[in-house]
């Protein structure tokens, strides 16, 4: 059994940060469950251009308000607590936090190692083949 408390991850290698966001990597690849789970905060006013070319991602909003834009067609979807959006086609997207910090629970498959940060194109690199 794994038991993880978010408050114990602050300022550790499982606390990833970038411009306009931070993420606590609750489960990572080395935990061996086949997916990773993050608690992510997007700061109010942030606009993130993202494109997870190597991962599928599901995001469940627990606080704040924002929107996600599907770059391929321009569709804009509101996000508020209780909203789930899934990047099931490696969708290029724009994520905006518009009212308060946007807090999301995010699941990645394949799992993240835990230390990833977004590259210039908004993606994470391909997953490593080891157990890191």
Task: Write the pLDDT tens digit of every residue in 66-103.
Answer: 999 999 999 999 999 999 999 999 999 999 999 999 99
Cβ neighbors of 87 (< 8 A, separation 6 or more) are 52, 56, 57, 58, 59, 93
pTM of the full structure = 0.90
Taking the CA atoms of 118, 120, 123 and 125 in sequence, report the sign of the dihedral they define.
Answer: negative
Look up the CATH number of the domain holding residue 19: 2.60.120.10
Structure token pair of residue 36 = 């990773």
Overall average pLDDT of the 3-30 stretch: 94
Residue 102 lies in a domain: yes
Cβ neighbors of 90 (< 8 A, separation 6 or more) are 51, 52, 53, 54, 55, 56
Q: How many domains in the chain?
A: 1
Residue 63 lies in a domain: yes
CB atoms within 10 A of CB 66: 24
Low-confidence winner among 37-41, 51-55, 63-67 (lowest mean pLDDT): 51-55
> Is residue 7 helix, strand or coil?
helix
Residue 119 lies in a domain: no
Overall average pLDDT of the 11-18 stretch: 93
Residue 2 lies in a domain: no
Residue 115 lies in a domain: no
Residue 131 lies in a domain: no
> What's the domain range around 20?
15-109
pLDDT higher than 70, residue 45:
yes
Look at residue 66 in the predicted model and tell me its pLDDT.
Answer: 98
Residue 54 lies in a domain: yes
Looking at the chain, the whole-number percentage of residues with pLDDT higher than 70 is 96
Residue 22 lies in a domain: yes
């Amino acid at each position: 059994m794994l038991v993880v408390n978010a408050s114990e991850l602050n300022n550790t290698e499982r606390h990833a940060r970038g411009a306009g966001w931070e993420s606590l990597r609750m489960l990572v690849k080395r935990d061996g469950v086949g997916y990773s789970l993050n608690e992510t905060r997007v700061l109010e006013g942030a606009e993130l251009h993202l494109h997870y070319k190597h991962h599928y991602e599901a995001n469940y909003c627990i606080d704040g308000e924002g929107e996600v834009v599907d770059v391929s067609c321009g569709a804009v979807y509101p996000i508020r607590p209780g909203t789930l959006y899934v990047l099931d086609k490696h969708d290029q997207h724009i994520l905006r936090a518009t009212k308060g910090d946007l807090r999301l629970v995010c699941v990645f498959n394949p799992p993240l190692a835990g230390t990833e940060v977004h590259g210039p194109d908004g993606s994470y690199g391909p997953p490593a083949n080891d157990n890191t």
